Amino acid sequence: MQLKPLFAFLSGLIKHNERPWFQERKATYDQLRAQFEEDAEFWFRELAKLDPVLAGPEGRKSIFRIYRDVRFSNNKDPYKTHFSVYFTAGPGKEVDSPGYYIQLGPNGNTMIAGGLYMPDKNQLAAIRQEIDYNADDLKALLTAPDFQRYFGGLGGDKLKKSPANYSVDHPEIELLKHKSFIATYQMTDAEVLSHEDLRAHVVEVFRAMVPFCQFLRRAVA
């Protein structure tokens, strides 16, 4: 992926998020999109080696569209201002099963992330039950050196109070309060643009995330 041209294009799109500007530069977008598809194919192949049960659509099929759905949004900008892809262990690319996400965008909008965002009621109950039974497994992977190096700890929105069926003095109450279970590694523009091999770096960050995604997958299975 040619990152400087990508960031230049997306920076322009941030300032001119309108169809005429985009259409005049559609050839540039198509070229950048094709490069991103090649990277996505690479990341999928490497991830499948690290997490063999990965079952989502390969590479380019896992990429999100740049076109925004504005039907129910107050923000009527027609285009997203980043490129993104999600590799899931489920049958589709929707973020309804544990998976791996990368987003490339200027102004500090580059991230490598994963886990399960806003699980449904049944998934949430299953994850909390797994924490209740096997919290030591989760805490061990959250404190692993590589996980700490990139993610620092468990992210995601939390309840202010203890969830139903769990006492406020439960020893793992802070983990049980989570409504989402995600790990996020943010990168500055300078870090992205100066990196010698960002494509390989993404794989290394994903490697640190694999045990976390596997824990969540076992919980919701």
Task: Inform me whether the pLDDT recorded for 94 exceeds 60.
Answer: no
Instruction: Quote the pLDDT of residue 1.
Output: 84
Q: pLDDT at position 93, please?
A: 52
Confidence at residue 189, expressed as pLDDT on a 0 to 100 scale: 97
Helix (H, G, I), strand (E, B) or coil at 13: helix
Q: Residue 96: pLDDT band by 50, 70, 90 thresholds?
A: confident
Q: How many whole angstroms separate alpha carbon 28 and alpha carbon 75? A: 25
Q: What is the pLDDT of residue 53?
A: 83
Q: What is the mean pLDDT of the chain?
A: 93
| pLDDT tens figures, 142-195 | 999 999 999 999 999 999 999 998 999 999 999 999 999 999 999 999 999 999
Residue 57: the pLDDT is 65
The pLDDT tens digits for 40-55 are: 999 999 999 999 888 6
Per the DSSP assignment, residues forming a β-bridge with 181 are: 116
Question: Alpha carbon of 109 to those of 67, 113, 130, 188: distances in Å?
Answer: 17, 12, 32, 8
Q: What is the pLDDT of residue 54?
A: 82
pTM of this prediction? Answer: 0.93
Q: What is the pLDDT of residue 73?
A: 84
Distance, in Å, from the CA atom of 45 to the CA atom of 160, rounded to the nearest integer, reads: 40
How far is 182 from 99, CA to CA, in rounded Å?
10
Using an 8 Å Cβ cutoff, are 211 and 134 in contact?
A: no
In this predicted structure, what is the pLDDT of residue 91?
59
144/137 Cα distance (integer angstroms)? 11
Residue 89 confidence class, pLDDT cut points 50, 70, 90: confident
Q: What is the pLDDT of residue 84?
A: 96
